[in-house]
A and B are shown apart, each in its own frame.
Chain A
């Protein structure tokens, strides 16, 4: 099963490499990974998605907790949560395709954020499934470049990951 693990780590050089190193060292999967500052400047938030059996996920969480730089973490998929990913996709858009891409983007509530005579760049925010569905929906021959941010997530309601 796919899990979204959100980790608060010390904002120290090398902290990210310890997390990534842990995954490669113990041959765990990382499917997506993102890292950015938080409201507390001493902390960064790393969100990663991974897959594995319950036993493997339990080990991953225990090993992450064991890293000295990891302050706190949560497996968001254990409770109600929101997840979002950002997609930037560059598409060949000429002739009839210009209208077609616009229509598909509208259906997915995407926005065309850059236009040239032959190119549309579409921005789309949603769950990873939704982004997959959009990429499936456009003509593969028009796809020039796909950029995805990796998953970010947050718990629903009162629950929060903080110190």
Chain B
């Protein structure tokens, strides 16, 4: 058997797990591991400029490929810098392995240089964590960590590695376990047959059904199954922010996104429905508006891998715990065997009602923003982006108005194409996550839709993109303010813009891009938008910042009126339901 040091075992175990790249940043306690990286060629390492970006990049890699993203950071500040990225992945159930180096075992607890209790600090935002207590354990811990991170409801796992566990001249026999079983961890795989039957019985009797699909359909690779089920039934489908793309956004049965900034037809249909089939969605507060007023006449069927998500916010009438990729085929089979089939007359009425709602305020049935002024409207930037990329780009985003406009106006037809921080709402996520996406898909078109606020939260990664030739297209919807904050200040604080304006302090993004060897393009005039957008994407091998000056007064609509029900929305500055 081969003898390897702890550091070598760690890297070898990653290789044997099929890892192709690591996003990280070295430091004192991680140096033995970095030396092991230097001595091999199979796993590539991406040197970021800040550890938060390492976690977001690994996250983007994971979201766009479905594989577990790997992060390597040093102890102390390296580890704490990664925390925001870990929390982001945790909230959105993204498989991630975080390797954090630690001070040597004998120094732990002594407030040593660059010591932080990483296990303690990360505890509330990880699925699980391990401390390496002897180097021989490393292969088994790595195996367990990947198993936990990637199965069940996925999530980040931290392995804390004291420096003396990786000492180069202490060698051990290495063997990577083929499989691992944990007695305390066995995520339920199949749905309960009785529950499936109950659910299908209700499903076929519905008169006003809605399928409400979330991120679980994406992470559970359930997209094709969902499409099949929805099309067998001819039921409308709305997706959450996290679920965009799991049902084709351009399909007739798609109602688009639901929730706080969801479409009028999605929210209104939810409110009036008599049956909701929730698949891999968790009734987030950004979806439900006031839970006690949520969909008063609907029976709720809820499929989720995580029992804690069921009946947490909204009581489920028929809960089904199981993996989406197992439960949906069970549902389809039960549906095919069912003697009762959906009531076509009721369904036709329901569709005509939905089409009426769509016609009234739908985002794609008419232009819902002001087209009379000279200023570029943020919505049309997204529409132009959609045209320039044929609707096929990987789109990452940050958090705020630009994120909502992208979610509303870019119709995603495939899962894993829309990459955003839904749960934690992390500004600074978009750009570094795009690096992970671009690194995983070297020839794909990757656009980061961001704001002039969000992009500055991880702007340092422009340097990383130079080093690794990552030709990301950064589309800045530049309204010179924290747009969503300002929107709330307009609505709830009589327009008192407390600390939400940049007041001529913004950098020249064109020069900034050029300083790093990239291309910068500024767009000010409406008539230039389409051409500049095309120009941006014509630079196939270069990173481009497209800095688009947009109307600073625009709001995102629809917007839920709180407290209220799903149907209570502002549909414009002066118009509400």
Contact = CB atoms under 8 A, between A and B. Distances in A.
Interface of A: 10, 13-14, 17-18, 21, 25, 55, 58-59, 62-63, 65-66, 68-72, 163
B182 A17 contact: no
Given A14-B129, A14-B131, A59-B308, A69 B184 contact: yes
Contact of B307 (A14, A18, A55, A62): A62
Contact of B308 (A63, A69, A72): A63
A125 to B, nearest CB: 32
B311 A25 contact: no
B123 A18 contact: yes
B119 interface: yes
A17 B307 contact: no
A17 B306 contact: no
A13 B123 CA distance: 13
Nearest to A17: B123
A58 B184 contact: no
11 contacts: A13-B131, A14-B123, A14-B131, A59-B312, A62-B307, A66-B306, A68-B184, A69-B128, A70-B184, A71-B184, A72-B184
A68 B308 contact: no
Contacts of A70: 184
Interface string B163-206: 00000000000000000001111000000000000000000000
Contact of B119 (A14, A25, A71, A163): A14
B407 interface: no
Contacts of B185: 68
Residue among A14, A55, A70, A163 with max Cβ neighbours from chain B (10 Å): A14
A34 B565 CA distance: 44
A50 B242 CA distance: 34
A15 B461 CA distance: 37
Contacts of A17: 120, 123
A72 B128 CA distance: 17
Given A14-B123, A25-B124, 10 more contacts: A10-B184, A14-B129, A21-B123, A55-B311, A58-B311, A65-B307, A68-B148, A69-B128, A71-B184, A72-B184
B127 interface: yes
A37 B183 CA distance: 18
A18 B185 CA distance: 15
Contacts of B312: 59
Contacts of B131: 13-14
Contact of B124 (A10, A21, A66): A21
**Chain A contact residues, majority secondary structure:** helix
A66 B308 contact: yes
Interface centre among B124, B127, B306 (most CB of A within 10 A): B124
A28 B365 CA distance: 47
Nearest to A24: B124
Nearest to B152: A66
Nearest to A63: B308
Contacts of A66: 306-308
Contacts of B123: 14, 17-18, 21
Nearest to B133: A13
B530 to A, nearest CB: 49
A55 B314 CA distance: 11
Given A21-B123, A55-B311, A68 B306 contact: no
Contacts of A13: 131
B284 to A, nearest CB: 16
Contacts of B127: 68
Contacts of B129: 14
A68 B182 contact: yes
B291 to A, nearest CB: 12
Contacts of A14: 119, 123, 129, 131
A71 B181 CA distance: 13
A99 to B, nearest CB: 51
Contact of B183 (A55, A62, A71): A71
Contacts of A68: 127-128, 148, 182, 184-185
A69 B148 CA distance: 12
Nearest to A20: B123
Which 9 A-B pairs have CB atoms at the shortest separation, nearest pair first? A71-B184, A68-B128, A62-B308, A62-B307, A25-B124, A68-B185, A21-B123, A63-B308, A66-B308
B233 to A, nearest CB: 30
B414 to A, nearest CB: 31
A104 B311 CA distance: 49
B498 to A, nearest CB: 29
Contacts of A10: 184
A90 B120 CA distance: 36
Interface string B370-386: 00000000000000000
B264 to A, nearest CB: 32
A160 B119 CA distance: 33
Interface string B109-149: 00000000001100110011101000000000000000010
Contacts of B184: 10, 68-72
Nearest to B309: A62
A110 B113 CA distance: 53
B268 to A, nearest CB: 29
A148 B527 CA distance: 77
A13 B308 CA distance: 25
A65 B129 CA distance: 16
A68 B153 CA distance: 12
Contacts of A59: 308, 312
A18 B126 CA distance: 11
Contacts of A71: 183-184
A21 B128 CA distance: 13
A58 B307 CA distance: 10
Nearest to B153: A66
A55 B185 CA distance: 24
